[in-house]
Amino acid sequence: MELVKISDSEYQKIAQEFGTPVYVYHAESIEHQYQRLLNAFPSVNVKLHYALKALNNINVLRILKAQGAGLDAVSIQEVQLGLRAGFAPSEIMYTPNCVDFAEIKEAVALGVHINIDNISILEHFGHEFGATVPCCIRLNPHIMAGGHSHISVGHIDSKFGISIYQLRHVLRVVESLKIKVNGLHMHTGSDILDAEVFLRGAELLFDAARSFKDLEFMDFGSGFKVGYKPNDIVTDIEEIGEKISAAFVTFCEEYGRKLELWFEPGKFIVSESGSLLVKANVIKQTTSTVFVGVDSGQNHLIRPMFYDAYHHIENISHADGAMRLYSVVGYICETDTLGYDRKLQEVREGDVLRIHNAGAYGFSMSNNYNARLRPAEVLVRNGEAHLIRRREVLDDLIRSEIELEGLI
């Protein structure tokens, strides 16, 4: 069935009812992307663990739970959010980085899968739990993926994972401390287009797996590229699915039993489902630029500043307006340009602009810089808009502050 998208008129109604800025998510789009990825690997036992760092609203998590997803959590707080949403501990993979060992012990007590990416932590884990608690090991394949250093995490200078060249050391630790390793993990980064990147990493992981006799699964991470620009190049997930599945089936035959193939998609599942609706506050012309100043900024969508990410922007209030060139900027006291030199239908003060592909790492990376408040979130299901997070008020900003009496 063809996916029916939210129309511009519907977005305008949402902006009018709930105000701006507001994040809007499309439930059916989330489900569509999940099923598309699942169906790309029909010949293997595949398990998708949604990376909830991308978007962690409980309503979104419950949509994915209903689809059969597990979760990929990178902090104990994310683990707790997953449990709150109804996921069983066995459905959650906990993959921390540079955390205190006390947090890992807390995750063990909660019963989730443990993924370790540091030899010293692996040793500590072995001394603490021995063979009583299984763990997964995250390996760094030293493969450069993605177009930006912030989203490529499998290269030699990355803080993530244990170097594939330290495998002999890992095996000595595992053997001497009787650690039960039930999975191997690899994540090279985001915006991967080429199936060969996955296949190169897979071969390294297969080679490593031959030294571990108790594996139950192999986790290939994620990093599939979605389209941010009109007619953008995206990952051919069906091609990757076909090639990875064939390689995995061959490996399992050699290994002697069928393993589960895990992925941890985040952006691929929710990015295109989300939009950020903002209002044009001012039109400001300088000697060289015409700015559209909106009622949002890097405090709500930091990706353009942090990653130099492109998000398509359109004026949904003036669809038949003449095309003009603008730079869309925010109201934060920093350079928070959301889009340089964008061709938009003529923008008037009060018009609503839609920023596309804001479902992943939009709200979850938002903040209160300049004492600005975070926006509302709305979920559209079966054509009906539902408020799933209210807009912040000043009391939210100061709730944890302790005011000292008589200090001054």
Residues forming the active site: 333
Query: Which residue is associated with the tokens 């799933």?
Result: 388
Rounded Cα distance between 371 and 369, Å, is 5
- Rounded CA separation 98/16 (Å): 44
Instruction: Give, for 35, the enclosing helix (H) or strand (E).
Output: helix 27-39
Contact 337, 291 (CB under 8 A): no
| Pure H helices in 289-393 | 303-306
How far is residue 26's CA from residue 4's CA, in Å, rounded to a whole number?
Answer: 10
Closest CA to 119 of 163, 81, 89: 163
What whole-number distance in Å separates Cα of residue 137 and Cα of residue 132?
16
Buried b (16+ CB within 10 A) or exposed e, 272-293: bbbbbbbbbbebeeeeeeebbb
Torsion angles phi and psi, residue 291, rounded to 5: -100, 140
The residue among 95, 71, 102 whose CA lies nearest residue 161 is 95
* Positive/negative CA dihedral, 275, 277, 280, 284: negative
Q: Residue length, the chain?
A: 408
CA distance 57 to 81: 9
What is the rounded distance in angstroms from the CA atom of residue 245 to the CA atom of residue 265?
Answer: 17
Residue recorded with tokens 């595949």: 46
Among candidate residues 186, 160, 258, 246, the one with its CA nearest the CA of residue 217: 258
Distance from CA of residue 406 to its chain's centroid? 46
Angle at which helix 167-176 crosses helix 119-129, to 10 degrees, equals 10
How far apart (Å, rounded) are the C-alpha atoms in residues 21 and 328?
14
